Structure 1
Amino acid sequence: MNYYILSLIWAITLPACMAIHGLYNFGQPELFYKKNNCKPIPANLLLCHDIEYTEMRLPNLLGHETMNEVLQQASSWIPLVQKQCHPDTRKFLCSLFAPVCLDDLDEPIQPCRSLCESVKHGCAPVMSAFGFPWPDMLDCERFPPDNDLCIPPAGIDHFMPVTKEVPRVCDACKEKEENDNEIVDNLCKNDFALKIKVKEISYMNGDTKIVPETKSKTIYKLSGVTERDLRKTVLWLKDGLQCVCDEMNDINASYLVMGQKMDGHLVITSLKRWQRGQREFKRISRSIRKLQC
């Protein structure tokens, strides 16, 4: 199983591989045969860094036994949190990926069933819109009722925060009004310009990795990019886990991507959803045809 494959597009934004594997059967004694260790929550566990507690339990409630496995799997869910489909999404996910670790408590504290149900109610429709059902392994019936020791939903006072942090938009995905000369200038500044459809999206070391569908690729410009680079094209959006790209919100759509070759990687500097017939893309097509740098 490839831990990295995501498709999202939550664009950039939902994981293609949202299957969570290794989930323990809650309440089964096998979970407690292994000694649970308290581990500091590392700074690169972006999903759960800087939450209300600082130490997590390993193995966690999803059966991950190493921190590397936690990091690989948790990154897939950051786009869902960025969608802000429910105020408790991060709280719910972190209760599973990085459960609070208390020295004087042998058994892990699970999320309450009501917490799962409220997050599912807000986020399952968002996931469904991108073709991803709520995972069976997060069936809310697995979690204890609220009268047990468990993590409850936020109080009603916390459901509508006065201020809500707005995720930063990735620089490559910001809307830009450009005239024909500026479009040509932008094309000339970059090493490649491709029209693509997305096959896979994943996250590695905080960056977004985009693999286009081979047959969908149309090449408008190449400079310093070799046949080897294009044999299996991989595009990178720098710091993609730290920002959102709502431009890329449909895995079936086509996109115009431009960028530069940096340290052997094809790095995206501009990304636009290609909408056939739209005036802006008619202008872009004209500019590409008469391109002279």
Structure 2
Amino acid sequence: MGCSESGGVPSVHSHLILQDSSPTCALDRKLFQQQQWPTVEKDHRLHHGAPHLSGSHPSPRLTLRPSYPRLVQLRPARLILQKNHCKAIPTNLLLCHDIEYTEMRLPNLLGHETMNEVLQQASSWIPLVQKQCHPDTRKFLCSLFAPVCLDDLDEPIQPCRSLCESVRNGCAPVMSAFGFPWPKMLECERFPLDNDLCIPPASLETVMPATKEAPRVCDACKETDENDNEIVDNLCKNDFALKIKVKEISYINGDTKIVPETKSRTIYKMNGVTERDLRKTVLWLRDGLQCICEEMNDINAAYLVMGQKMDGHLVITSLKRWQKGQREFKRISRSIRKLQC
């Protein structure tokens, strides 16, 4: 479940993570600072001054497919017949897997030269897509992280300036509300105009679908109306029960990694958990990038988390926001005090 995490503090705005706190895509500033915002610099190898970034979603409809009949919709400028380095988009590239095309260019438009680098950096942007601040957010990001690759087209196909502008106009206000401006090196003037070979924004039919599938709620975050006996039963069938405040949240291989504040941690139950586990407590919400957790919309709140130790990891099976004075948590407190499993 773990992997190496990218290090270094980027120059733009430290770490970012996106957080559900209102239907209008409001973000929690503290969470916003947990995830890495890629550092941005210009790579003169790229065409049209494209930026170089070092550093379950609906599939967007693209007017681009890996075939020439669709290229006429992109108003092509120059076509050079020379084979490119096309790579299949891997299933674990969650940001861009199941997009309309299946092969991507490597190196990509962000200067990433290996698939491992792409995988590591792309996961940082999934929370932005989850915010649904614009229907083309994923399309725009994938045009940079996993640009479409055509065997007989040598030049990379960049996002059109209008695509960048529409995503920026939708998502920049969400960021600026918490003091984070749109990165300078993602200024839309760096991308080609729509009369060049580029990926345009979606049509109105795509932007405004007739129906919209509701996002799946994580199993551990589903609201339940438990009586005292059910609360005790739930406590007893789990290996640990903690009252925590969140210090850091990140995403690794599709799972949500939660590091609690050790000073504000209260241990109610630890069964089969070692002292080593306690010294550096790390909690996991499995498949956290494929679902939403409304309970986690306030990073400053306290939480009651319960779970089991699986393959050496502390996996959350139940997560509730701890609200003082709330009737349910008065019952939970009483149940914990007289817990007998």
TM-score normalised according to structure 2 size: 0.77
Residue of 39, 42, 48 corresponding to 1:21: 39
* CA distance 1:30–1:288, change in 2 (3 Å): closer
Residue of 151, 155, 158 corresponding to 2:199: 151
* CA distance 1:30–1:281, change in 2 (3 Å): closer
Question: CA offsets per residue over residues 39-62 of structure 1, 9 Å max, x none?
Answer: 111111111111111111111111
For 1:243, the equivalent position in structure 2 comes to 291
1:3 aligns with 2:51: no
State how far apart, in whole Å, the 1-side matches of 2:315 and 2:242 are. 12
* CA distance 1:136–1:273, change in 2 (3 Å): farther
Question: CA offsets per residue over residues 241-269 of structure 1, 9 Å max, x none?
Answer: 22221211222222111101112111100
Aligned partners of 1:9 and 1:248 also within 8 Å: no
TM-score normalised according to structure 1 size: 0.89
For 2:266, the equivalent position in structure 1 comes to 218
State how far apart, in whole Å, the 2-side matches of 1:274 and 1:125 are. 30
Structure 1 residue identity aligned to 2:233: D
For 1:179, the equivalent position in structure 2 comes to 227
Q: Identify the range of structure 1 (21-30 vs 185-194) with the bigger mean alpha-carbon deviation.
A: 21-30
Question: CA offsets per residue over residues 216-264 of structure 1, 9 Å max, x none?
Answer: 2111211111211010001011122222212112222221111011121
State how far apart, in whole Å, the 2-side matches of 1:127 and 1:28 are. 24
1:86 aligns with 2:134: yes
Aligned partners of 2:160 and 2:191 also within 8 Å: yes
* CA distance 1:125–1:108, change in 2 (3 Å): same
Q: Identify the range of structure 1 (142-151 vs 90-99) with the bigger mean alpha-carbon deviation.
A: 142-151
Equivalent runs, 1:133-212 vs 2, <5 Å:
133-212=181-260
* CA distance 1:57–1:23, change in 2 (3 Å): farther
Aligned partners of 2:42 and 2:185 also within 8 Å: no
State how far apart, in whole Å, the 2-side matches of 1:64 and 1:193 are. 41
State how far apart, in whole Å, the 1-side matches of 2:190 and 2:133 are. 22
For 2:116, the equivalent position in structure 1 comes to 68
How many residue pairs align between the two structures?
290
State how far apart, in whole Å, the 2-side matches of 1:145 and 1:292 are. 68
SS in 2 for 1:215: coil
* CA distance 1:139–1:120, change in 2 (3 Å): same
SS in 1 for 2:168: helix
* CA distance 1:184–1:39, change in 2 (3 Å): same
* CA distance 1:255–1:9, change in 2 (3 Å): farther
- Deviation of 1:212 after TM superposition, in Å, equals 1.1
Structure 1 residue identity aligned to 2:139: K
Structure 1 residue identity aligned to 2:17: L
For 1:40, the equivalent position in structure 2 comes to 88
Aligned partners of 2:256 and 2:284 also within 8 Å: yes
* CA distance 1:145–1:252, change in 2 (3 Å): farther
Q: Which has the higher contact order (CA 8 A, sep 6+)?
A: 1
1:279 aligns with 2:333: no
- Across the aligned residues of Structure 1 and Structure 2, the Cα RMSD in angstroms comes to 2.7
1:263 aligns with 2:320: no
Aligned partners of 2:49 and 2:190 also within 8 Å: no
